Amino acid sequence: MAMRLFIVPVLFGLLGCGLAVAGDAAAPPSAVQTLTPLSPGQVKLTGEFGRRLNGFIEGNVLKVDMETSFLQHFRGHNEEGQYYGFGKCIDGVARLAAWSGDARLLALKRKIVGELIATQEPDGYIGWARPDVRIKTLWDAHEDSYILWALVSDYRLFGETNSLAAARKLADNMIRRMMDNPDLKPDTMNGLVTFPGSTLGFDRALLALGDATGDPQYRDFCLNRLGLARFDPPIGTGPTTQDNHCYVYIGHCAAQLDLYRETGETNLLRATRRALDFMRHGNGMLITGSCGEGECWHASQSSLQNTGETCMSAYVVRLADLMLQLETNSLYGDIMERTIYNALFAANSPDFRRIRYFTPFDGKRFYSPTLDTFCCPNNFRRFMGDLPGWLYYRTGDGLLVNLYNTSTATITLAGNVQVKLEQVTDYPSSGNVLLKVDPSRHTAFTVRLRIPGWCPEATVAVNGGAAEPIEGGRFLLLTRVWKTGDRVELKMPMPWRFIRGREAQAGRVAVMRGPMLFTLNRARNAELAAHPDFEPRQMMINPAEIGPQEPDDSVRPGGLACRIKAWQPGYFHFWPHEPRVPLVLTEFPDPGGESIYFTVPDTHSPLIVDDELTR
């Protein structure tokens, strides 16, 4: 059967730009979700993702002192106010154990879950708080919310009925305390942190518990007491307030999307679409893929010490994944890879042990002062546990490839057809991908491949046939009768891109190639090392004098560096006759990186383009 090529355009109108939401009729639940994530065990990672996943397990998770950092606090039940993030940690360990099958992680998961459940009080409470401050302080409610989520995850991933029973007792305890005190709104910091912030994670955990148990009381509490369906605040920017807190905002959006999959009520999409529209068209998203300053929405495009919170970066990817499942829009995959390769991979130290609270792109970066506790280290662990599940999805008529990385997946299609999918690539060093498609028998189905928006034109060839040109920014659909031994060759050219700066970065450009952002590390450049007081952002580069990519293993094995001509420090005006010096830029996760935007001789040059994620 001849191959047919179909192209699905990017649906920009769905992101708050042209689709009315209010008053729309609810979609039938069967039409709500278009993609199904794969289950642990179906995907095996090697390549760069596999290197990072295995390194993180060895260099981080297995080195955490669970007793000192977490468990001892939950045995005492006598603290006044603190946050440890143990639920997030458990969830990350459980997911990493499920995807990797590592016996050490499985044993660790059983140990910490078992010992935590052993601390549960007769009334169902789990936590570190003394009785008089329980649920009244922000951190107690927030801690319990993610412990509840982790216990449900343990049941979903491993069938642990003890964890589900403990989750029910904990949820019933939280609900009872809130119902007994109808006016109770947990807060702290003189009211700075309000009810939506203190209950972050509780709504999504209750929905998961309701799904796992079939008990409607948990969903009803989300709707009636927590007001999940009513969550629809405007986007505000400015100093740290809970109303402007971007992680809180996106966290509740994720819960609304869970509810939307069940009900199809389109009002549940309003907050998510508003956030995505602000991120893309209101300057709310940084070029790294992260958001926020001091944990709050901001639109200045400045990025100094307190920008790019790791929790927010993880939730940007999580939100994009949920929307990809709902709308099969390649733009969400583009957002995911931008944030993963830049904001998130840069948040982890090369030895994997330390994690950043913030990852700015201007100035020096610092690792979190709390090595293993609090939000960011543990949300990063959850992110790493979710990463394998974002490469492939099951569709109604076949399968979809979202992220490119050497890996294998085993997917069961209709009629109990088993398809082994193998991906071989050095992505993101190049855009060349070999896809091996091996079904258990000759079967007609569709393979969808994401062609990123940064790619001007890709080519695809099946079984050595003629290469077909494909425009970027969409999904390519390959529909045919597939048989064992079929091969797809995808080539996505990665030209250098000079991305036009916005707001605080106006008049400057950032250098990108594929999904990767490049940064200036002063130590790699002798001209800057000789001028220790020079501000790297004042460096002027010449886009016309960029060299070819060259190998550079300083940031990752098989990585790349960029060489480009620049004017020496001290020359703040464009003089064509002045000599240029070579400048080396490294990939953004370089821990010594301190600047990504540079001035250029001509901001109107055709070599300078807008960020494809904001178009």
Query: In order along the chain (615 residues), what is the average pLDDT of each group of 10 residues?
Result: 38 29 32 86 96 98 97 90 93 97 98 98 95 80 95 98 98 91 60 64 97 97 92 84 82 96 95 97 98 93 92 98 97 98 98 97 91 95 98 97 98 95 98 98 97 97 95 97 98 97 96 98 83 79 92 96 86 65 94 95 93 96
Instruction: Determine contact, residues 311/375, Cβ cutoff 8 Å.
Output: yes
Q: 432-439 and 486-491 as β-strands: parallel, antiparallel, unpaired?
A: antiparallel
Neighbours of 577 (CB within 10 A): 4
| Rounded (10°) CA dihedral 268, 272, 275, 281 | -110
For 374-378, the CB contacts below 8 A with 24+ separation are 374/83, 374/84, 374/85, 375/83, 375/85, 375/88, 375/247, 375/310, 375/311, 376/309, 376/310, 376/311, 376/347, 377/85, 377/89, 378/85, 378/86, 378/88, 378/89, 378/92
For the record, the structure tokens of 15 come out as: 């992101």
Measuring CA to CA, how many Å separate 145 from each of 47, 99, 204, 370?
35, 24, 9, 21
Q: Class assignment of domain 394-491?
A: mainly beta
Between CA 338 and CA 196 the distance in angstroms is 29
Which pLDDT score is estimated for 3?
41
Does an H or E element contain 579, and which? Answer: none
Residue 241: both structure tokens together:
């307030």
CA 66 to chain centre: 25
Other beta carbons less than 10 A from residue 159's beta carbon: 9
> What pLDDT, on the 0 to 100 scale, is given for residue 189?
47
Would you tell me how many other CB atoms lie within 10 Å of the CB of residue 216?
9
Strands (E), 452-579: 457-462, 468-471, 474-482, 486-491, 496-500, 508-513, 516-521, 541-546, 550-551, 560-567
Distance CA 524, CA 594 (A): 12
Q: How far apart are CA 46 and CA 426, in angstroms?
A: 11
Within 427-519, residue ranges assigned H as helices are none
Residue 415 exposed, middle or buried by CB count within 10 Å (0-12, 13-18, 19+): exposed
**How remote is the C-alpha of 253 from its chain's centroid?**
14
3-state DSSP assignment of residue 350? coil
- Per-residue confidence (pLDDT) for residue 556, from 0 to 100: 97
The structure tokens 């993030």 sit at 85
* Domain limits, the chain: 394-491, 496-614
- Looking at the DSSP bridge assignments, the partners of residue 581 are 566
Q: What is the pLDDT of residue 535?
A: 79
Are 442 and 493 in contact by the 8 Å Cβ rule? The answer is: no
